[in-house]
Structure 1
Amino acid sequence: MPNDTELILCPVNLRHAKLDRSAYNEAVSMAKRRDAKLLVATVAPEMERNLNIRDSVGYWTQKLDAFVATYRPDGLDVETCVRTGAVHRQIVKLAEERGADVIVMESANPRIQDYLLGTTASHVVTHAKCSVFVVRG
Structure 2
Amino acid sequence: MTRETKLILCPINLRHAEYDYGEYEEAVAMAQRRNAKLILMTVAPEFERNLNIQDTEGYWRDVLQKFLKSHPAGDIDLEVLVRKGSTHREIVKVAKERKVDVIVIGSANPRVKDYLLGTTASHVASYSPCSVYVVRN
TM over 0.5: yes
SS in 1 for 2:112: coil
- Is 1:70 equivalent to 2:70 in the alignment? yes
RMSD: 1.4
Partner of 1:24: 24
Partner of 1:46: 46
Cα shift readout 1:9-63 (whole Å, capped 9, x = no counterpart): 0000000131311000000000000000010000000111111001100000001
d(CA) in 2 for partners of 1:76, 1:34 = 10
- Is 1:93 equivalent to 2:104 in the alignment? no
d(CA) in 2 for partners of 1:114, 1:2 = 34
Partner of 1:119: 119
What's the TM-score, normalizing by structure 1?
0.95
Partner of 1:136: 136
Unaligned runs of 5+ in 1: none
Count of paired positions: 137
SS in 1 for 2:111: coil
Unaligned runs of 5+ in 2: none
d(CA) in 2 for partners of 1:77, 1:2 = 22
d(CA) in 2 for partners of 1:7, 1:126 = 20
Deviation at 1:75, TM superposition (A): 1.5
SS in 2 for 1:117: coil
Instruction: Indicate if the aligned counterparts of 1:13 and 1:19 stay in contact, CA closer than 8 A.
Output: no
Deviation at 1:3, TM superposition (A): 7.0
Instruction: Indicate if the aligned counterparts of 1:3 and 1:34 stay in contact, CA closer than 8 A.
Output: no
* 4+ long deviations beyond 6 Å: none
d(CA) in 2 for partners of 1:76, 1:45 = 28
Deviation at 1:65, TM superposition (A): 1.3
AA aligned opposite 1:135: V
